[in-house]
Amino acid sequence: GARRASSDEIKALFDRIRLDEVHHDVVFRRILEKMKKKGEEGAVGSSSASRRGLRPAFTLGSLKREGESG
The answer to whether 17 and 43 are in contact (CB under 8 A) is: no
Higher pLDDT among residues 56 and 2, named by residue: 2
| Cα 68 from Cα 62, distance rounded (Å) | 10
| Cα 54 from Cα 45, distance rounded (Å) | 10
Residue 5 has what pLDDT?
A: 76
Predicted confidence band at 68 (pLDDT cuts at 50, 70, 90)? Answer: low
- What residues does each domain of the chain span? 7-69
pLDDT digits (tens, 9 = 90+) for 16-57: 888 888 888 888 888 888 888 876 545 555 555 555 555 555
Higher pLDDT among residues 7 and 4, named by residue: 7
